[in-house]
Amino acid sequence: MRGLGLKLALLRIAMILCVCKATSSLHPLILVPGSGGNQLEARLTTGYKPSGLFCGRFYPIFKDKEGWFRLWFDPSVLLAPFTKCFNQRMMLYYDPDLDDYRNAPGVETRVPEFGSTNSLLYLNPNLKRLTAYMAPLVKFLEEIGYVSGETMFGAPYDFRYGLAAEGHPSHVGSKFLQDLKDLIEKASASNGGKPVILLSHSLGGLYVLQLLNRNPPSWRRRFIKHFIALSAPWAGTVQEMLTFASGSSLGVPLVDPLLVRGEQRSSVSNLWLMPSPKLFGPGKALVITPNKAYSAHDIPEFLNDIGYPEGVIPYISRILPMTESLAAPNVGLTCIFGTGVKTPETLLYAKAGFDKQPEAVYGDGDGTVNLESLSALESLWAFEKNQSLKVIRMSGISHTSILEISAALDAIIAEISSINSKAQAEVSFE
């Protein structure tokens, strides 16, 4: 690993030294974040009914002149009274008549600065050291010649929402796909018609794959140069079953998981990330209680038993058909992910039930996503003749550290530079 790191570092130095020559050959690059990987803003209307004294319309104090404030990430979520406010304002509701999701009554939300990388750098620009997300990656990209707003763009989205199977509406998620498609076309047009490199992290990879498969091959050939997916949970993750059953503090100290469990259950994207029966077989128990064991094939029963029956119909009708189909997009794809980090593989619940955090049996993965999911495309697309698939495994790299550790960033930059170099060689040859 040390020798590989040295080689990658030397390659990066060489790339920086010749950046002035390479800039003109760069393909435009669009960054697509993972869940929680960009800022989210909210505004309260007269329809908002606070859940408690601390959650009135006066909170937070600092808003812009139109009433917008930062919903994610706001550090006050760490304090119990305000955690309840956060839970209420982040909550989504499924409307069976519309067959779609909506915000909590009286809460409007928006994603700031679509098209820019600004919203992806830090989840809170006032807390840069604590909330850095894609800032290290963007810095590395700038060192090889990428310029924000010219050759490098960001595609933030409302990560609470997801997509749905064909025949079911998904207004927010579908609008994001259309906005992303428009951004791809504009980025290409403003860079001499060069096709675009898409670089996603985590959940962003699922969105990108859906975008590619929902557009015709002719569009993909014209506008997509390559797709690089970092830490993509292609088949979901066992961690999501913990989130639904008991809530997750996501490693943030002082946060009671039960106080945020409601909004986490309501998140469509979390339902999308449940472990897929396609990869996690019926014989694999993922959650074990004193009375019952649940595999990925038992998720409807699991949702009902944990006290979230309202999630059953959306899961069966909207999510399951989509996760069962992971069609190859027939564009160049590189998967980069970490391995060798202990990752929840089976959750063991005691008699106290789902309101208590379980004991975990760990397996391989990146600490968040199981190896079966990270490497799913290798087995699913093994016989796809028209699909180019490259897999780069990085030992000891976690789900989020892939965006900050130099060895991982060097590998990402090397892959992007290789794609640009090959493209330049093809043009020269022609």
Is 168 catalytic? The answer is: no
Tens-place pLDDT, residues 237-263: 999 999 999 999 876 777 899 999 999
Q: How confident is residue 4, by pLDDT bands cut at 50, 70 and 90? A: low
Parallel/antiparallel/unpaired status of strands 29-32 and 40-44: unpaired
| Given 74, 276, 399, 410, the catalytic residue | 399
CATH number for the segment(s) 24-426: 3.40.50.1820
Identify the DSSP state of 231. Answer: S
- Interacting residues of 200 by C-beta distance below 8 A, sequence separation 6+: 31, 32, 33, 34, 207, 208, 227, 228, 229, 230, 232
Q: How far is CA 411 from CA 11, 142, 356, in A?
A: 10, 15, 40
Please name which of 382, 365, 387 lies closest in space to residue 374, comparing C-alpha atoms.
Answer: 365
Q: How confident is residue 22, by pLDDT bands cut at 50, 70 and 90? A: very low
State the residue for tokens 């707003």.
Answer: 149
Distance CA 325, CA 340 (A): 28
Q: How many residues does the chain have?
A: 430
Please name which of 254, 255, 237, 258 lies closest in space to residue 246, comparing C-alpha atoms.
Answer: 258
| Given 74, 305, 366, 410, the catalytic residue | 366
- Could you tell me which residues are beta bridge partners of residue 344? 362
Is the model's pLDDT at 14 over the cut of 70?
no
- Interacting residues of 349 by C-beta distance below 8 A, sequence separation 6+: 245, 287, 288, 289, 290, 356, 358
Is 366 catalytic? The answer is: yes
Please name which of 199, 194, 183, 176 lies closest in space to residue 29, comparing C-alpha atoms.
Answer: 199
Query: In this predicted structure, which of 74-88, 162-176, 217-231, 310-324 has the lowest mean pLDDT?
Result: 74-88
Q: What is the mean pLDDT of residues 151-180?
A: 98
Question: Crossing angle for the helix pair 257-266 and 239-246, nearest 10 degrees?
Answer: 110
Predicted local confidence at residue 427, as pLDDT:
44
| Given 119, 202, 267, 375, the catalytic residue | 202
Q: How confident is residue 408, by pLDDT bands cut at 50, 70 and 90? A: very high
Predicted local confidence at residue 429, as pLDDT:
34
Q: What is the mean pLDDT of residues 281-307?
A: 97
Task: Round the average pLDDT of the chain to a whole number and report it.
Answer: 93
Is 202 catalytic? The answer is: yes
CB 71 within 8 A of CB 159: no
Is the model's pLDDT at 15 over the cut of 60?
no
Distance CA 399, CA 374 (A): 10
- Interacting residues of 426 by C-beta distance below 8 A, sequence separation 6+: none
Residue 3 dihedral angles phi and psi, to the nearest 5°: -65, -40
Nearest-Å Rg of the Cα atoms of the chain is: 22
Residue 374, token pair as written in the block: 């990270």
Please name which of 207, 137, 145, 136 lies closest in space to residue 170, comparing C-alpha atoms.
Answer: 207
CB 235 within 8 A of CB 275: yes
Q: Percent of the chain, pLDDT > 90? A: 85
Kindly state the greatest CA–CA separation across the chain.
69
Is the model's pLDDT at 108 over the cut of 90?
yes
Q: Which is more confidently placed, 338 or 12? A: 338
